[in-house]
Structure 1
Amino acid sequence: MKIKQYRTQFIQELAPFYDAYEAESFFYLILEDKFRLRQIDLALNHELTFTDKDFVLLDSILEQLKKEIPIQYLLGKTSFYGLDFEVNENVLIPRPETEELVEWIINDNAALDKTKKLKILDIGTGSGCIAVSLAKNLPNSDVYAIDVSKKALETAKRNAINNKVEITFMFKNILDLEILKYDYDIIVSNPPYVRELEKEEIKKNVLDYEPHLALFVKDNDALIFYKKIAGLAKKNLLPNGQLYFEINQYLGKEMTNLLEEMNFENIDLRKDIYDNYRMISCKVSKKQ
C-alpha cells in the first residue's frame, strides 16, 4: 500500500477519538520519527510505499492511539520551548501554557547584569522542561530542581544531559521541608493543581495515562502546594527575589489573595494564549 493511501485509512480509523487535524498531525509525527520522512517528502512523491514490516509497526501504534495513549508517550519524546525532551509515564507531558511561563521568566531576566549569576529553583520539575529550558536560555545561572518522584528525576537528568545543561537535582518532598538548603533569586513551580471535582473536564488520554501524583489535589485544600512553596520562598528568596507559578485557571483570585496575605509585592496575574488565568508572579523586597 502506498503511504498516501495508508494516511487516509489512518485518519479514518482515528475519527472516533480525534478530529481529522489532530489525527493527521499524529501521522506525520510518526512518519518523521519512525521513517525519517517529512510531509513535504510525501507531497513530492505520491508513490512512496511501506513494507510489510512497516505496517506491523504502524498498526501497533494505531491500536495504541485508539486507546488514547498520548502520542508523546508512544514516541517517547516531545518538543518544548524549541528543545527535545524525553517523556514517559512517570512525567507529565509539557504543555504550551508552561512554555509561556518559561518565556515570562526569560524575558524578565535576560537583560539583567551579566556579571550577576542567577540562582534558580524549579520545584516539582517532572521532565525537567522548565529547569532545562531556563538553564539553556539563561546561561549565566545556576539551576536547581526538586521532585518527589525518583523516576521523574531520572528522566529529568537524562533531559539535562541530552540538552547539554548542568542542573543540580534533588529528591525531596516539598511538603516535608521547613526551609530550603540554599537561597535563590528565582523560584518557579508548576505543582499539582487540578481539583478532584475537575476530573470530569480532563480528557481520557490525560486521566488514564499521565501521573496523578503530578496532577491532582484535594478539593478542600487545592492551594496546598502554593501555600507551602510561597512560605519557603519567604525564607529562601534573596532580596528582590522572584516567585513564579503556573496555576489552576479557576483559582486566580484565590492565588492573588494568598500572595497578598503573605505580603508578597508586585503580584502579577496573567492569562495564557487560551485566555485563561494560568500564571502568576510576585517578589519579595527583602529576605524574611
Structure 2
Amino acid sequence: MHTYQELISSWALKLGIYEKQEAESLVSWLFEHHLGWRRSDMLNKAEEASFPSKIFDDFERLKTGEPIQYIIGKGPFYGRDFHVSPHTLIPRNETEELVHLIIKENPTSGLRILDIGTGTGCIPISLALELDHPEVFGVDISEEALEIAAKNAEELGAKVIFSSCDILTELPEVEALDILVSNPPYIPVQEKSQMHKNVLDFEPGLALFVSNEDPLIFYRTIAEKGKQLLKPDGKLYFEINEKYGNEVAELMTNLGYFEVQVLKDLNGKDRIVVARC
C-alpha cells in the first residue's frame, strides 16, 4: 500500500522528458481523470493492482510526450473544460488573457463578434457565455476542428454559429461586426527546431506554422478583410508571436487602423495587438 502522493511521485520519476514539478502535475491530472483523486486525497492509501488498465495505457502515451489533453480528450480554458483532438490546438493561458481582455473592455450588450481560426471554439464560446447577449460567430478551414467546436458549444450551452472558411482565399459571410478576433498560425517554419517535442509531434501544424518568407500573412489578410467586416470604430484583437509585435502594429497602422496597442502577457512577452477600425 502506498499513499496517493507516493504513487504520484514514483510515477512522475518515470516521465523523464518532463521536469519533476510538471511530471507530478501530469500524473496527478491522470489520476484525477481515471480515479477521481484530488490533492485533498493525497494521504489516503491505495494499491496499483486496483487501478483500471486504461490508466496504464494512458501513462505509456504520456511517456512519449503526447499532451495529456489529447490523452484524456479535454483541456481547461477560462474555467471550463473543452473537448480537444489532434485536429485542434490545445487551449493556452495566453489565449485566456486575450479572452479576458475582450470581456473587460467590451461590456456593451448585443455585440457582434467573429473569431477566425476557431479551433476548439474556446474563444467564441467563452465570449458567448461571458458577455451580455452577444451574437457570436466562428470560422475555421478545418472541418474536423469545426466538429469539435460545435460539440463544445452544445455541451457548454453557448450559442455560436460556426462555418467553414479559408481566410486566405475567402471572405467570411458575416458583416457589421463590433469585434473581430483571431489567434492565427504565427510560428515560422524555421522555429520548429526550438519547439518542444510534445507540441511539434502532436499538435496540428496547420494551426501552428506559417512560411518563413511571409510570417505575417494571416495578420495582414485578416486586417485587410477586417476593414470590410468591422463597423466603423469596431475593434480587432490579435494574439501574436512575441517577436512580431511592432511589425503587426505597423501593418495595422498602415492599413488605416487607429489606437493600435501592443500588449504584454503575464510573462512580459508581446502577445496581443488591439486596434480600432
**Structure 1 24/258 Cα, relative in aligned 2: closer, same or farther at 3 Å?**
same
Cα shift readout 1:210-237 (whole Å, capped 9, x = no counterpart): 0000000001111111111101111110
Unaligned runs of 5+ in 1: none
What's 2:81 paired with? 84
Output the amino acid matched with 2:24: E
Structure 2 residue corresponding to 1:264, chosen from 257, 260, 263: 257
1:143 aligns with 2:144: no
Q: Which moved more, 1:173-182 or 1:85-94?
A: 173-182
Contact kept, 8 Å, 1:87 with 1:93, in 2: the verdict is yes
Structure 1 residue 120: deviation in Å?
0.2
> Deviating runs (4+, > 6 A) in structure 1?
none
Contact kept, 8 Å, 1:42 with 1:48, in 2: the verdict is no
**Structure 1 220/70 Cα, relative in aligned 2: closer, same or farther at 3 Å?**
same
Unaligned runs of 5+ in 2: none
What's 1:64 paired with? 61
Output the amino acid matched with 2:103: I
Contact kept, 8 Å, 2:34 with 2:55, in 1: the verdict is no
1:235 aligns with 2:212: no
Structure 2 residue corresponding to 1:162, chosen from 130, 147, 155: 155
The share of aligned pairs that are identical, in percent, is 40
Secondary structure, aligned partner of 1:251: helix
What's 2:269 paired with? 276
1:7 aligns with 2:5: no
Contact kept, 8 Å, 1:196 with 1:219, in 2: the verdict is yes
Structure 1 residue 180: deviation in Å?
4.0
Structure 1 residue 26: deviation in Å?
1.0
What CA distance in whole angstroms lies between the structure 2 residues aligned with 1:4 and 1:271? 37
1:39 aligns with 2:69: no
**Structure 1 87/179 Cα, relative in aligned 2: closer, same or farther at 3 Å?**
closer
Task: Normalising by structure 2, report the TM-score.
Answer: 0.96
Contact kept, 8 Å, 1:76 with 1:87, in 2: the verdict is yes
Contact kept, 8 Å, 1:179 with 1:235, in 2: the verdict is no
Structure 2 residue corresponding to 1:205, chosen from 193, 198, 206: 198
What CA distance in whole angstroms lies between the structure 1 residues aligned with 2:206 and 2:83? 19
Task: Normalising by structure 1, report the TM-score.
Answer: 0.92
What's 1:48 paired with? 46
